[in-house]
Structure 1
Amino acid sequence: MSAPAPGQILELTASKSDARLSRLAAIIQHTRPDVLMLCEFDHPGNGGDDGSVANFCRHYLERPQYQQQPIEYPYRYCPPTNTGLMSPHDLDGDGVLTLPADGLGFGEHHGHFGFVILSQYPIAENKIRSWQNMLWQDLPDNVMPANYYSEQAESVLRLSSKNHVVVPIEVGSQIVHLLCCHPTPPVFDGDEKRNARRNHDELKLVTDIINSASYLRDDDGGAGGLAAKDAFVVMGDLNADMVDGDGMKPAVRDLLLHPRLNHSVSTGKMTPKSLGGRFTIPWQQRKGRGTEWTHISGLRLDYVLPSSNLTVSQTGIFWPDKKDPMRSLICDERGRSRPQAGSDHRLVWVDIALSV
């Protein structure tokens, strides 16, 4: 749900009849998540909704799509993002400030490729924490490429390509903290591997937030990250696969094997799976299991990772089998699984049992 020019997604969601948005809405209506993170949804770069999220909810989610029942999300959060936020100093070294290359996060306009959170439970907005402003060079033991950025660029370049946020969801008497981010993909760079290195360090920041590392200061100056007893769920397109792909493996491996995560879901018997993913033929040879892929390139990139103190009942990936009538929601009119039909990613879901 992103477009090169600001306002285009607002116009699209106002149309009420876009076939791709209808398919995406039908997938959400079919899986019926109580809490949902949508990546690459354009909205104002400083946060908030310009009407695009409200339009998508009103015109698509709250109306039947492909014989699915409507669903409502009364609580919504559109965090500020670094995508398309112009750096005050030249980042790519060409001597001029232009987007997207000189954005603090890659984007054609401020708010491009942002993410949003929809919830059926109240969001404690006054307790949301973010690490949007943290500089990459301030991450201990960072792997920022040496001698690639100028000193001026290093002094302003932020670590998070979008934002790293902790969003408390109030479920009855319990609080579940969403730890959400969308790290940059580890490709589209050169020998310096700046994107691969940034992806690695964005994932390291997730781990440090879980660890409540002593160096951490959020955007309001608050120290540390999650508390030791907090129940939480890491959510996002992490653009990292522990087995395949171009990314640097240590950071995603450290995250998935973190002692505070539910290992049954992160790496064990309950990793989210699908029936349809195994029929995908990626353009590169892969070692991973097709049932765990969440992207049409044959990679596990998208994650819902509950903490070890949460009880998980079921997990899955919306990637229907060839004979499943719901498969039409990810295919074009000719029955081909194409990104243009809906998305190149697949929805990942986890059911958590709470005593409220």
Structure 2
Amino acid sequence: MRVAVYNVALSRRGAGVLWRDLDRVRDGRGDAQIEALLQVIPRLGADVLVLTEFDHDPEGQALGAFTALLQAPPGADAPAIAYPHRFAGPVNSGQPSGIDLDGDGRTDGRADAWGFGAFPGQKGMAVLSRFPLGPVTGFRGLRWRALPGHHLPLREDGTPFPSEAAQAAMRLSSRAHWVVPVQLPGGVAELLVSHASAPVFDDAHDLNGRRNADEIRFWQLWLDGTGFRADSGETVVRGPAPVLLAGTLNADPFDGAGAQEAIAALLAHPALQDPGPEGPGGVAAAGQGANAAHRGPPARDTADFRDTPAPGNLRVDYLLPDARFTVTASGVWWPAEGEEAALLAAASDHRPVWVDLKPPAP
């Protein structure tokens, strides 16, 4: 069984634009990025695929159009793959809060949404699966303040930033945190899905960096058995099923501005295992100067940030199986050169991370 996570960078400037672009591809009018993704994803061949940075609409029109194109792509020789089961729920990004959440005196900016975004659903998430999916438990509405040991920002005088009222309302998830049951051949496993804040564009209060750290820490506390109030209104704790943590966590354990201590602690959690997926493209990029002064292994980088020199390439996309799974292979699909390398570069600035595994015995 192959599980993969892929930040597909399918975010557009306005609501409905992604759906429009997908329809254009269906009608033969073309979109270079989408056409590249339609080549990459079938070749990846994942049985369960977590997509991040995929614009969400309430009716699921964009995801429906995308999966239809994957199953029946334009072009006689195009590869195809079918995902009969899928999930995409609402996310916090772009959802107006009506509150000044960044301290600029306004309540209608992108940073005043529950998660940064230009419109509701921008840069959402989705799960595609060949196996049936069960009822999803979401924590999109969880207040940041409800996280034990939270790191909400403070002003120099020790008062809450940007205000007490804002901190009382702030949500933890910049998109969402989902627990998605998957009926695997060997029994049920639970996907733990999230896309954490980018820990940049901050002032001295480090709001985004602190949120990034606590979004990652949520999963550590969940794995430890801490219960949280779900969107259903119930307090939910982790069950006995094995887990597969998958998402874009926007933190590298060695380099960049992300929460290095938080991601390192998650990677070392005894309930999980880190297969350490690698790809030759990250090494090649480092040899071309992408990772000057970086300490981490470039083979494990998952995002090509060479056009933004400050961070360099980083490991920000993760697939961490339960320690009870048997991992048979893993990788970051990032060739060093050639046709495949060009195809993946056209598809996204991130690269797919995949793990082949055997479920634990029932």
TM over 0.5: yes
What amino acid does structure 2 have at the position aligned with 1:285? Answer: A
What amino acid does structure 1 have at the position aligned with 2:333? Answer: F
**1:271 alignment partner in structure 2:** 276
Pick 1 or 2: higher relative contact order, CA cutoff 8 A, min separation 6: 2
**1:219 alignment partner in structure 2:** 231
**1:144 alignment partner in structure 2:** 152
**1:10 alignment partner in structure 2:** 19
Equivalenced residues, count: 333
The residue correspondences of 1:175-190 to structure 2 (distance < 5 A) are 175-190=188-203
- Whether contact under 8 Å (2:252, 2:259) holds in the other structure is no
**1:327 alignment partner in structure 2:** 341
Structure-2 change in CA distance of 1:287 and 1:65 (3 Å): farther
What amino acid does structure 1 have at the position aligned with 2:200? Answer: V
**2:242 alignment partner in structure 1:** 231
Cα deviation, 1:317-344, whole Å, max 9, x if unaligned, reads 110122x43222124xxxxxxxxx2211
What amino acid does structure 2 have at the position aligned with 1:213? Answer: T
1:272 Cα offset (Å): 0.6
Determine whether 1:259 maps to 2:276: no
Cα deviation, 1:170-194, whole Å, max 9, x if unaligned, reads 1235001000000001111111111
Looking at structure 2, the residues matched to 287 and 115 of structure 1 have their Cα atoms a distance apart, in angstroms, of 30
1:66 Cα offset (Å): 10
**2:293 alignment partner in structure 1:** 285
**2:309 alignment partner in structure 1:** none
The residue correspondences of 1:80-229 to structure 2 (distance < 5 A) are 80-125=90-135, 128-147=136-155, 148-172=161-185, 174-214=187-227, 216-227=228-239, 229=240
Looking at structure 2, the residues matched to 205 and 32 of structure 1 have their Cα atoms a distance apart, in angstroms, of 30
Higher alpha-carbon deviation: 217-226 or 62-71? 62-71
Q: Is there any run of 5+ residues in structure 1 with no aligned partner, and where?
A: 332-340
- Aligned mate of 2:260, from 249, 254, 259: 249
Looking at structure 1, the residues matched to 317 and 124 of structure 2 have their Cα atoms a distance apart, in angstroms, of 16
1:221 Cα offset (Å): 3.1
Looking at structure 2, the residues matched to 285 and 21 of structure 1 have their Cα atoms a distance apart, in angstroms, of 34
Cα deviation, 1:136-169, whole Å, max 9, x if unaligned, reads 1111111111132211111211001000000000
**2:308 alignment partner in structure 1:** none
CA RMSD of aligned residues (A): 1.8
Looking at structure 2, the residues matched to 221 and 212 of structure 1 have their Cα atoms a distance apart, in angstroms, of 18
Residue aligned with 1:83, SS: coil
Structure-2 change in CA distance of 1:66 and 1:306 (3 Å): farther
- Whether contact under 8 Å (1:210, 1:226) holds in the other structure is yes
Looking at structure 1, the residues matched to 176 and 330 of structure 2 have their Cα atoms a distance apart, in angstroms, of 26
| Length-normalised TM-score, structure 2 | 0.87
Looking at structure 2, the residues matched to 222 and 102 of structure 1 have their Cα atoms a distance apart, in angstroms, of 27
- Whether contact under 8 Å (1:25, 1:61) holds in the other structure is no
Residue aligned with 2:192, SS: strand
Q: Share of identical aligned residues, percent?
A: 33
Higher alpha-carbon deviation: 309-318 or 17-26? 17-26
Q: Is there any run of 5+ residues in structure 2 with no aligned partner, and where?
A: 1-9, 156-160, 306-312
Looking at structure 1, the residues matched to 358 and 317 of structure 2 have their Cα atoms a distance apart, in angstroms, of 21
- Aligned mate of 1:312, from 310, 321, 327: 327
- Whether contact under 8 Å (2:178, 2:194) holds in the other structure is yes
